[in-house]
Chain A
Amino acid sequence: MAAIIPIGPYHPALKEPEFFKLYTKGEEIVDVDIRIGYNHRGIEKLAESMTYEQVTFLVERICGICSNVHPLCFVQAVEDIAQIEVPDRARYIRTIIAELERIHSHLLWLGVAAHLIGFDTLLMWSWKWREPILDVFEVVCGNRQNYAMMAVGGVRRDIKPEHVPLILKAVREAKSNVKRAIDMLMGDRVTKARLQGVGVLTKEDARRYCTVGPTARGSGLQIDVRKDHPYAAYKELSFEVPVMSEGDVWAKTVVRLLETIQSAEIVEQAVSSLPPGDIRAEFKEVPPGEGIGQVEAPRGEDIHYVKSNGTNIPERHKVRAPSYVNIPSLRPQLIGYTIADAPIIIGSIDPCFSCTDRVSIVDEGGRERVLTEEEFIQLSRKHGTKA
């Protein structure tokens, strides 16, 4: 008989509401039940009542950390419908903003992960290293978060010549700081003991659970939207995707840190080869049709699906945040490890619970029914909108 330890839905160790039911035998976790849906905000439905321009700002609020990913993904979906050719300069600016965001997101994660294993000095340091990047955002975009840079057809603000030295300075600083963090972690036996061999996700499991982003790359899967389906200016920039094969928390940490250095180099390349020209393409209207936007968020692949009916309001807007596919993979990662390892294992996928929650079912009748995959498909075919 396994003892049940509930983590969540509202738990001091979790920053966002999510429910993990740990079945334990002594210290060991033998099974996990994960329930999501505690932070449903009705964003998709709200998007169906706003114009395309307004939805860009709405989707920016899906995630508080990667607040550039969702608008970028959304505008790409709309540009896919309307076949808008984005100016070169706008594509490069999009890349710069996206990569700066990856740097600050990974540094934030490093701090959170360090905090979860009790390494609070690294938390303070990495969040300090993150500040110059946020200062750059404040100068270039006008805000530390929620940059409001994306617009259908381009970007809203230009990167001025006086911004370039600021960006380069911040990026170089971040790069040297991350290298220092890698040195520090490599030589620290305590951190290694907490991270190595903990929460192993095998390559087979990573593939079976359809994981994305650093979670998949830490398990040896070479997937990255920036390489596989290049968007913005990634086709013209040279970079490598770091992959580790161990699958443990340590591998995910190293993948993220190497990615941060890689992002810094991408920003340097993009800033130095910033083409001149317009930053926003004119477009008349969004014709009826469907479009998909794909973006490699700091946490993995983000997908937005937009269906247009020819008006200025989307008919259907679907968001699939990367954490949605990464969270189920916590089950194989948690089983077999101790309760003390659970926080860092959960933290290792960099979960973003609020981004994930799309549907919340409130059944007032108190009936509970679990649908099989077959029934679920039948149901969606029966009630789904006919194209």
Chain B
Amino acid sequence: MGLKLKELAEALKSAVSRPFTVRYPATPSPPPESYRGRPEFQDKCMGCGACAEVCPSKAITVSDDADTRTIEVSYGRCIGCGQCASSCPVEGIKLTTQYTVFAGPEGEPRNSVKRALVRCTECGAVITTFDHLRWLTEKLGNLSFSNLTLLATIQAISAGVKPEEVQGGPIRPVCPKCRRKLVLSEHGWRAKY
């Protein structure tokens, strides 16, 4: 009998109390600050591609065309783990607190960033983006004088031109493979000074 009364009291309490659920989306349901929502590229992104390297679901892809690199995150594949943000050296990609992702008529929702690419002046292979080289020279300081590509980058920054257009004779952006060849043939034992 006591239990029946308890149940009755519970039922009456439930009948008058407000519902536990919210009427989403009419009532917004904001997530906490620490929520791992969809990642978005920031202006700081330099296009190094570290995020694509660590992405477990291959949601972030890097594609290079003639002179630009496009890094794209596809929200359909993204699992929101946040490895991209934690491996980014410059906070170039950040997790937002947005959890709603809508697929429109243009297909899967995406977020992308484009950065200027630097190619090898010898063989045309992709070296990396200009912003990435700039970041490397800033990080390495004087040590970057030991590298042809970085030296060309410093000259390009001070001259305000693209690294490929640097008028420095032997100082020009080259890929690691060509650099080894060049250092030996132009500056090494075969040098014709």
Contact = CB atoms under 8 A, between A and B. Distances in A.
Contact of B86 (A54, A141, A156): A156
Minimum-distance CB pairs A-B, first 8: A142-B36, A54-B56, A57-B56, A139-B32, A148-B81, A187-B3, A57-B81, A142-B34
Contacts, number: 47
A141 B36 CA distance: 8
Given A54-B83, A56-B56, A146-B79, 13 more contacts: A54-B55, A57-B56, A57-B81, A131-B20, A138-B31, A138-B34, A139-B32, A140-B34, A142-B82, A142-B95, A148-B80, A156-B82, A156-B86
A143 B97 CA distance: 10
Q: Chain A CB within 10 Å — which of B34, B54, B80 has the most?
A: B34
Nearest to B54: A53
A368 to B, nearest CB: 37
Interface residues of B, number: 18
B57 interface: yes
B82 A148 contact: yes
A182 interface: no
A50 B86 CA distance: 18
A229 interface: no
B35 interface: yes
A116 B31 CA distance: 32
Interface string A2-30: 00000000000000000000000000000
A131 B22 CA distance: 13
Interface of A: 50-51, 53-58, 61, 128, 131, 138-143, 146, 148, 156-157, 187
16 contacts: A50-B56, A53-B54, A53-B56, A54-B56, A54-B83, A56-B56, A57-B79, A138-B32, A142-B34, A142-B36, A142-B80, A142-B82, A146-B79, A148-B82, A156-B86, A187-B3
B168 to A, nearest CB: 39
A57 B34 contact: no
A222 B3 CA distance: 34
Contacts of B86: 156
A54 B55 CA distance: 7
Interface in B28-83: 31-32, 34-36, 54-57, 79-83
B38 to A, nearest CB: 12
A51 B87 CA distance: 14
Contacts of A54: 54-56, 83
